[in-house]
Amino acid sequence: MLKIASNPSKYSTQEQVYTTLRKKEGRLYNDTEVKELPYVPKNHPLAAEWKVRKYTAQKLVKYLSAKQKTIRILEIGCGNGWLCHQLSFVPGSTITGLDVNMYEMEQADRVFQSVLNINFIYGDIFEDILPEKTFDIIVFAASIQYFSGINEILDRVMPLLSASGEIHIIDSPFYNSDKEASEAKERSAIYFDKQGAADMAQYYNHHLYSSLKKYKHTITKFTLMEKLLKKSYFPWVIISIE
């Protein structure tokens, strides 16, 4: 059963803006489709995007499975729960999915209620809703851009990690300079405006690689072959506890 840890009314405006945009983009799926993600028909309008998401999800599952130990995973910004479902196949894993989008959280809970090693929480990560040192892995998959201050969110979640814990950031862009980020921000604003969701610009952020310098981290960028095969576009950032 979905646990409600924060007040939904606090985030209703943001949810409405986000959900309206996703509906126009064709990124709201029925329950049957969500259960099958990241697998979609080859003629699906977003097939290319899901090819990338599938590839990075498989790489993450393989990486975590290789640890060969019991592993507690938190996905922040889990949406409809499709990645939580994929992560549930990591041997010895328990998965917690967290988000403040009630529409998608209710769907995730409904679709994956039979998967015993997954639980979902509707809640704000900045509120005191999770005990410290609870998780071995924290995942941000296509979600870090919805936090305005990357250092603020990373500093917030670090205490939630176990002694050997890691933060994984996947499927999100980073930028090399303020100029590059500013240009991307302008492109995003134009896109949101064309979609009739101009307010989305205030919730979508553009982070710099330099913001990661204060953390012990590795960055794996896509290879030329991955780029040519259109399998990966974004860096895989792993932040480790000192």
Q: Give pLDDT tens digits for 28-72.
A: 999 999 999 999 999 999 999 999 999 999 999 999 999 999 999
The string of DSSP letters for 12-31 reads HHHHHHHHHHHHHHT----H
Name the pLDDT band for 3 (thresholds 50, 70, 90). very high
Residues 123 and 120: their CA atoms lie apart, in Å, by: 9
Residues sharing a CB contact under 8 Å with residue 119, sequence separation 6 or more, in sequence order = 3, 94, 95, 96, 97
Name the pLDDT band for 229 (thresholds 50, 70, 90). low
Mark out the alpha helices in the chain (DSSP H runs).
Answer: 12-25, 31-36, 47-65, 82-87, 102-111, 150-157, 178-194, 224-228
Angle between helices 102-111 and 12-25 in degrees, nearest 10: 70
Rounded to 5°, angle at Cα 114 from 109 and 117: 85
Please answer whether residues 50 and 40 qualify as being in contact, where contact means their C-beta atoms are separated by less than 8 angstroms.
yes
Please answer whether residues 131 and 121 qualify as being in contact, where contact means their C-beta atoms are separated by less than 8 angstroms.
no
Residue 26: burial class (beta carbons within 10 Å; 0-12, 13-18, 19+): exposed
For residue 100 the two structure tokens come to 């403040």
pTM: 0.96
The pLDDT score that the predictor gives to residue 230 is 65
Domains observed in the chain: 3-240 (3.40.50.150)
Tell me the pLDDT of the chain averaged across its residues: 95
Residues 167 and 133: their CA atoms lie apart, in Å, by: 13
101-154 pLDDT tens trace: 999 999 999 999 999 999 999 999 999 999 999 999 999 999 999 999 999 999
